[in-house]
Structure 1
Amino acid sequence: MAQQSTEAAVRVRPADLAPGAVIAQSLDNQWVTAELTRDMVARGKSLQDVGSARDKEVRAEYFRSLINTRQVVANRVFFYNNAAVSCDLLEGGAARRAHQKLLAQGALVPYLLNERDPAEPPRTGLDYDERGFTAWQETLEGMPAGERVKCVRFSWEDQENREATRSALFNAFAARVQGLTAKDIPLLARQVGVPEPRYGAFAERIGEVVRWSNEHSVRGDLVTRNLLYEQFVTVPGTPVSEGRYDGTKPFAAEIKQLLDLIYSVNLADALGMYPLTPAGSLRRVALQEWRDVRTTAAGTVTDPEQLLVFLQRQAFSTVQDRLALTPSAVDALALEDICSLRQSDAWNAYIRAFDALTADPAAFQERVGRVFDRYVRLNSEIVRLADARGDRRARANRWLPVIEVVVTVGGAVFTAITGDESWSVAGSLGGISAKYGGSVQLVLRNRVEGRREQKFARELAAVRFDSAREWERFHGKVSRLPGYREEGGATAATGSATVQDDIPEY
């Protein structure tokens, strides 16, 4: 197989990515919903054993990320190791051409760790899908003249890139793992689904994870997710890529959830982006990053009064029952349909409306209605594409609209939901003093939704309070909203290199 020349790649750094670019956690070839992870551990199933069910979930999240965002960045290995992505490359024809178009348009951007070229063979000794990688090389080699693949690295100067990779990825990953024992462990246990009688045992196991990581860091070894998997998650002697999780290892499923969340968040933070966390996965709030709030990907809300606006009822006056439709299974479409959709007037209007909202989160009341309206129109276009394909799996559901705003501040989560002339706002305080950092997320969905239906879930803004007094002001105002209810505890937070060196695959 001829190797793709670097002339076919556009080399960019993180600052050159599109505003609102995301890391899609579902493209991680280890991603599994929390529910399916527990089932795999209990029944001794591997990723291959649950491949059919898992691939449908991943494919739906993959398509949602391309529908709902302007640009999706993924580790290069996921393009050929993730069957939900590589299936289009292996199929060839129109499916492969659609993938080439998305690469050329910068809708899909490979992240390169050490490689200078997206078609370079993986490093010797790494476990990867050879058929998928060959199809990836062929896809790149077959790009039409004039089309180039946008690839991102921390730096295209090799020594600077190695230093940035160690600092921003490997060292930061280890630091997050080693900081787990500094968290509120009972809160962490609740969020990963550990029953209360087992909190003590869970705390001890987390201590073992942290000690193991510390010992390796002190020796100068890099602490990677694969090494932690081998020690605490996977069956001894099996490749990590096989995804056979060991039920005899205490809390293997819960530790896997935490490691996957840290891995996804870490890469997104390093690239200055938001992670797009799929449904059924542990949410970032579980990491309890009260004082460590990123402010580069969206506006930052610092005023309690301004934050309250996101949860007030008048924000939702735009929602009405509409005689509109939404696709029941977005993954029943083909990648070429997604490619066509991204060229439509409906998609471009939708993206412009969301960009305008994130550019000025303070104008939420005035601009959320336009986002919602463009979202409904976009769904109609998706249904039209599904009808043209004639696939009964993509049949339309009646649109019963729900707008949901999720505000996290420290350990507290506040959720406001409207639809069908109803409205509610609820808070979960997490059992600790909640203050400092968080985010605002907007969700648009069908009230009665299928697991693989099209829906929108995006971060609008970061939140930062600089004192407990500001948190108390905000909490007091939310508590006085009509119909407000509060829970005391937290619910589960589910949601070969050119330069050979000692940096392993991340």
Structure 2
Amino acid sequence: MTDVDDSDGLMTPIRPDQLEPGAVIAQSLDNQWVPDDLTVDMIEQGKSLDQVAGRRVREVRAEYFRSLINASQVVINRAYFYNNPAISRDLMEEGEDRTAHRNLLASGAIAPFLLNERHPAQEPPAHLHVRREGFTAWQETLEGMPATDRVRCVRMAWGDSDDDRENKENTRIRLFQPFTEKVQGLTAKNIDALAAQVGVAPENADEFGRRLGEVVGYSNSLSVRRQPVVRNTLYEEFVSVPGTNVAEGRYDRDKLFAKEIKQLLDLIYNVNLADALGRYPLTPADSLRRVVLQEAREARTNSGFVDDPEQLLTFLRRQAFAAVQDHLTPSAVNSLSLQDIWRLRQTAAWNGYIRAFGALTAAPEHFHDAAGQVFDRYVRLNSEILKLAQERRQARPTRWHPVVEVVVTLTAGTFSAVSGAGLWELTGALLPAMVSTPVTGSVQLLLRNQKSGREEQRFAREIASVRLASDREWRQFLDLVQRLPGYRQEPDVGSAGNASTTTQDDEVPKDY
């Protein structure tokens, strides 16, 4: 590794390829992330992020904990440690939660992402929005770490402190340029399919397409003027109330399709960082899935894309799982503390679960053999979660009927197979638009209660990328699925897009 200035010994600098294979980027920690239904309320009622903080922080915190439960390592933008109350609340004073946060940093479970800064405690640029009390708490947390501990900080490149050209160039090529390209490529998509997946009614698809054209045109005008194309600038023009700070989160009901454009920009922003780091984004429920971007993206699995219709079908075939009698409090995670999460990660149940899931993602073609192991370990893990919640005397056990759900989300439709607890359901929903090839998408594995609820503890992760090269392969897959026992086709895909993120060297934007 290239030598860097690390005078206080606190930090271990790492490159993206040195992150753990199971590392994820949690979209819910984005300072602009809001659940879809809450976004609607904010726009209709003119409320800011602070005005919905109570509900939003609860949901963000639950997703934060779920990311730490379901992934070996979580990469977090440095600014979120002090600007996101769902995280900074654990750092405000000395106690078991601040200690747990230090333990998570020292173990590598949490890896701060640094953009231009060279140290996690470095003062942010003056022009950026900073919650000062949060930043002070973040600095104190780092200062109080034992001398033997190290924080693994990831950056695009590390070089001599007097020469940051490699990091600037890598950041431009791997982060800013792809973001610009993804935004400017929106009008190259199948607009009818894109409109359907973000919830725009068919009769409004043409108007939505024209509005996307304005977004792309504005982005192009920035590029030709050598100005950076960043999310905040696009928010100011198409999402935020004029004259307000983007960080306030006031979304303008008078700006056409403000909600849908916000969702697309947020999705592009978060998957772009995940791509730059070579890892998966962890998308929360009630947020757009990546498939809406209609991209033939690089595979993240060792086996490459799933490109054979017969192989793809295996993900939807019924899986035989033994009936599991267990208890689970659906909202158990909400009653836990960060210290509980740290304790959970030390258990044999958590380590067994992470190993089983790692085996599945490393070889998704062995789904039949590996999914049962993941399911079994997940049940054991939830028992540990319940024990921790009961210790705090906040858990009210309810009967849990665990099921596994496999969701294949494609640019041409969505298919879902649910089995377990005596249940077998297979449904499909096709997009009301012409199929363009290649047909791309992903396979997602969900482990949840038979009766799903908004606050239940569940697992959802992408396990494979899909690319069917021709219309013939797509039709072959569709025919195979429709022949499976019990297949039922829904009227339309509707909200299938929702889940159950060139400048000169000295002109690299200070924020992303």
Contact residue 191 and residue 209 of structure 2 kept, 8 A: yes
178, 181, 187: which one pairs with 2:193? 187
The Cα shift of 1:470 comes to 2.4
Structure 1 portions without partners, runs of 5+: none
Distance in 1 between the 2:140 and 2:84 partners?
A: 17
Query: Does the residue aligned with 1:300 lie in a helix, a strand or coil?
Result: coil
Amino acid at match of 1:364: F
Verify the 8 A CA contact 1:361 1:460 in the aligned structure 2: yes
Query: Is the contact between residue 162 and residue 503 of structure 1 (CA under 8 Å) also seen in structure 2?
Result: no
Structure 1's 215 and 11: CA in aligned 2 closer, same or farther, altered over 3 A?
Answer: same
* Structure 1 residue 140 corresponds to structure 2 residue 153: no
Q: Which moved more, 1:227-236 or 1:477-486?
A: 477-486
TM-score (norm 1): 0.94
Residue 88 of structure 1 contacts residue 99 of structure 1 at CA under 8 Å; is this kept in 2? yes
Query: How do residues 261-340 of structure 1 correspond to structure 2 at under 5 angstroms?
Result: 261-289=267-295, 291-296=296-301, 299-313=304-318, 315=319, 317-340=320-343
Counterpart amino acid of residue 239 in structure 2: V
Q: What residue is the counterpart of 2:401 in the other structure? A: 400
Q: Distance in 2 between matches of 1:66 and 1:43?
A: 33
Asked if the contact 1:319–1:403 (Cα under 8 Å) also holds between the matched residues in 2, the reply is no
Question: What's the counterpart of residue 205 of structure 1?
Answer: 211
**For the Cα contact (< 8 Å) 1:66–1:107, is it kept in 2?**
yes
Deviation at 1:500, TM superposition (A): 7.3
Contact 2:331 / 2:456 at 8 angstroms: preserved in 1? yes
Q: Secondary structure at the match of 2:281?
A: strand
* 1:409 equivalent in alignment to 2:410: yes
User: In structure 1, the residue corresponding to 2:9 is in which secondary structure?
Assistant: helix
Q: Alpha-carbon deviation of 1:136?
A: 0.6
Q: CA deviation at 1:441?
A: 0.8
- Do 1:272 and 1:297's aligned partners in 2 also have CA atoms closer than 8 Å? no
Where do 5+ consecutive residues of structure 2 fail to align? 500-504
Distance 1:357 1:83, change over 3 A: same
Q: Does 1:347 align with 2:353?
A: no
SS of residue in 2 equivalent to 1:7: coil
Which moves more between the two structures, 409-418 or 107-116?
A: 409-418
SS of residue in 1 equivalent to 2:175: helix
| CA-CA distance at 1:206 after TM superposition | 1.0
Identity of aligned residues (%): 57
SS at match of 1:114: coil
Which of 494, 497, 502 is the equivalent residue of 2:498? 494
Name the structure 2 match of 1:359: 362
Q: How does 1:196-275 map to 2 (within 5 A)?
A: 196-275=202-281
Distance 1:328 1:449, change over 3 A: farther
1:489 match: secondary structure: coil
Letter in 1 for 2:127: G
Counterparts of 1:127 and 1:186, CA distance in 2: 37
> Residues 75 and 111 of structure 2 are in contact (CA less than 8 Å); yes or no, is this contact kept in structure 1?
yes
Deviation at 1:416, TM superposition (A): 0.7
* In structure 2, C-alpha distance between the alignment counterparts of 1:326 and 1:55, rounded to whole Å: 20
The CA deviation at 1:268 is 0.5
Q: SS in structure 1 opposite 2:305?
A: strand
* Contact map agreement 1:327 1:379 (CA 8 A) in 2: no
- TM-score normalized with structure 2 length: 0.93
1:58 aligns with 2:75: no
Q: Assess if the C-alpha contact under 8 Å between 1:44 and 1:244 holds in 2.
A: yes
> How many Å separate the matches in 1 of 2:169 and 2:96?
41
1:490 Cα offset (Å): 2.4
Q: Secondary structure at the match of 1:143?
A: coil
Once the two structures are superposed, the pairs formed by residues 75-94 of structure 1 within 5 Å of their partners are 75-94=77-96
The one-letter code sitting in structure 2 at the alignment partner of 1:78 is Y
Q: Which amino acid aligns with 1:414?
A: F
For 2:480, the equivalent position in structure 1 comes to 477
Return the alpha-carbon distance in structure 1 between the equivalents of residues 288 and 94 of structure 2: 35
1:438 corresponds in structure 2 to 441
Q: CA deviation at 1:254?
A: 1.1
Residue 197 of structure 1: how far off its partner (Å): 2.9
Q: For 1:412-440, what per-residue CA distance to the aligned partner results, in whole angstroms no more than 9, with x for missing partners?
A: 22111123322121222222316442211
Deviation at 1:196, TM superposition (A): 2.7
CA separation in 2, counterparts of 1:21 and 1:250?
A: 37
The AA in structure 2 aligned to 1:151 is C
Question: Runs of at least 4 residues of structure 1 off by over 6 A?
Answer: none
Match of 2:121 in 1: 119
Secondary structure in 1 matching 2:234: helix
SS in 2 for 1:450: coil
Q: Which letter maps to 1:384?
A: K
Report the CA distance between 1:36 and its aligned residue: 0.7
Deviation at 1:222, TM superposition (A): 0.7
- For residues 506 and 297 of structure 2, the distance between their equivalents in structure 1, rounded to whole angstroms, comes to 34
Residue type at the aligned position of 1:311: L
- Residue 502 of structure 2 is matched in structure 1 by none
Gap change, CA 1:411 and 1:347, over 3 Å in 2: same
Cα distance, 1:187 vs structure 2: 1.8
Shift of 1:360: 1.6
SS at match of 2:50: coil
The residue that corresponds to 1:455 in the other structure is 458
Shift of the alpha carbon at 1:184?
A: 1.5
In 2, Cα distance between equivalents of 1:166 and 1:57:
33
- Quote the Cα distance in structure 1 between the aligned partners of 2:411 and 2:444: 14
Counterpart code for 1:355: G
Q: 1:71 aligns with which of 64, 70, 73?
A: 73
Contact 1:288 1:411 in 2 (8 A): no
Residue pair 2:428, 2:488 contacting (<8 A) in 1 also: yes
How far off its partner does 1:370 sit? 1.2
Q: How far does residue 68 in structure 1 lie from its aligned partner after superposition?
A: 0.6
- Structure 2 residue identity aligned to 1:50: V
Return 238-247 or 483-492, whichever deviates more: 483-492
Question: More displaced, 92-101 or 486-495?
Answer: 486-495
- Cα shift at 1:409: 3.3
Instruction: From 147, 152, 155, give the equivalent of 1:153.
Output: 155
Structure-1 separation of matches of 2:83 and 2:389: 28
The CA distance in 1 between the partners of 2:459 and 2:132, in whole Å, is: 34
Mark the CA change 1:270 to 1:297 in structure 2 (over 3 Å): closer, same or farther.
farther
- RMSD over aligned CA atoms reads 1.8
8 Å contact kept, 1:21–1:69: yes
Deviations 1:101-144 (A, max 9, x none): 00111111111101110111111211111111111111111111
Mark the CA change 1:187 to 1:53 in structure 2 (over 3 Å): closer, same or farther. same
